[in-house]
Amino acid sequence: MITIELKSTRRILIRQRNKRGLRKKLQQQKGVPIKTAIMINQSLKKLEDKFVLAIGEKITLSCDTPELEAINKTFPNSKHQWIFNNVDLEIDKKRMKLEGLMFEITHFNASDQGLYACRVHYAPKRRKTIYFATIVSEKVGIPVQIMETKTLKLHCPSSPIGRLFKKSFRTWSLKGKMVNGYTSIPAKRRAFERFHNASALKHEGSWVCQVTDPATDRQWDLIRYDVSVTALPLHESEVHKFVMTHPILIATQSLSALLFLVAMYIYFVHEPKQPEKPDTDEEQDETSSETGSTDEKDGNDNAEEITSTIITWTKILEMGQPFVMIDMEIAFLFTKRMKKR
């Protein structure tokens, strides 16, 4: 009976302490009133400012919302700021206007695609997004040129939506079809997507990044890219084709070359020849002289052989001959050196 009463008293004390801590934490944060925060969240969930524009069109966005008015009542010194693709908006004076709470694009370009957000800074290090809109090009995307076999990198500015809608994710589509392996990326992730070994067949065309929030059943098209893949130079194309069609041969020849380099290192560097120690000072002088000249001669021979072999390899590669010729050169050089030993 006494144990039960002690446990009950302890629970009450812990509950009271937690309430005091929460109240103190809220006071320190100086956040927006709960009613205002709820109003902002509900407004963002219902917001449907999604625009698809043709090149040259005009559009106006406004940060003059009831949510901003509610925040200004509590924090009269608050200031708003426009954000474009998660960075501060830079105004192109030839095509854009920023007057008060209004932002206008007089001539839309493909580079203007993405997410525009209005943030309110109402206290030191405290801010709140109260409005956002997405703009995507109708047909013309941002031009991206990539060479065959290189890595294609595309960026989707979805992280602001990912912070507002925790379960949202992004997908990539090419020519209207979803790209396998890139269909459920967390929207809050800011990294580039990488598509390896670019080819005209698999990567050329119109790419679109789309964000989906399953909790609210909403979708946003954020950005469009027009990817073109250029062909490799002829000699690089032939080498790449040979490598792709003979992977086992390339692997074995690479291993042979590696073993050869290790053998060369051991033979020329790791185990140098040591001259025999002479019995007298006079013999030592003679031996040193003879050894020096011999070492110099061997060093010159070694350098000439290595240089000759490297030149031969280079010619073989330039002629596009099979890599098996390299093995013949390796065997020839190694046999020659062993005979000298």
Percentage of residues of the chain with pLDDT beyond 90: 39
pLDDT: which is higher, 156 or 306: 156
Q: How confident is the model at residue 30 (pLDDT cuts 50, 70, 90)?
A: low
Residue 317, pLDDT above cutoff 60:
no
What is the full DSSP assignment across 44-73? Answer: HHH---EEEE-TT--EEEE---HHHHHHHH
Q: How confident is the model at residue 234 (pLDDT cuts 50, 70, 90)?
A: low
Q: How confident is the model at residue 276 (pLDDT cuts 50, 70, 90)?
A: low
pLDDT at 258: 77
Question: Is 154 within 8 Å of 193 (Cβ atoms)?
Answer: yes
Tens-digit pLDDT profile for residues 107-117: 999 999 999 99
Mean pLDDT for 95-119 is: 95
Percentage of residues of the chain with pLDDT beyond 70: 64
Residue 237, pLDDT above cutoff 70:
no
Cα 303 from Cα 311, distance rounded (Å): 12
Predicted TM-score (pTM) of this structure: 0.62
What are 161-164's contacts with CB under 8 Å, separation 24+? 161/115, 161/132, 161/187, 161/211, 161/213, 161/220, 162/186, 162/187, 162/188, 162/189, 162/211, 163/188, 164/44, 164/129, 164/132
pLDDT at 137: 96
Residue 103, pLDDT above cutoff 70:
yes
Q: What are the CA-CA distances from residue 85 to residues 33, 37, 115, 190 (Å)?
A: 28, 23, 5, 10
Tens-digit pLDDT profile for residues 11-20: 666 666 665 5
Tens-digit pLDDT profile for residues 134-172: 999 999 999 999 999 899 999 999 998 998 899 999 999
Residue among 123, 115, 131 at smallest CA distance from 79:
123
pLDDT at 33: 78
* Mean predicted lDDT score pLDDT of the chain: 77
Q: Kindly provide the residue ranges of all beta strands, DSSP E only, lying in 15-158, ordered along the sequence.
A: 50-53, 59-62, 79-84, 87-88, 96-99, 102-105, 114-123, 126-137, 142-147, 152-154
Residue among 326, 333, 309, 328 at smallest CA distance from 253:
326
pLDDT: which is higher, 32 or 311: 32
pLDDT at 49: 87
Backbone angles phi, psi at 103, to 5 degrees: -125, 130
Tens-digit pLDDT profile for residues 34-55: 888 888 888 887 777 899 999 9
Beta strands 102-105; 59-62: pairing state: antiparallel
Residue among 155, 224, 161, 162 at smallest CA distance from 192:
155
Cα 120 from Cα 72, distance rounded (Å): 9
Mean pLDDT for 230-244 is: 62
pLDDT at 54: 96
Residue 236, pLDDT above cutoff 60:
no
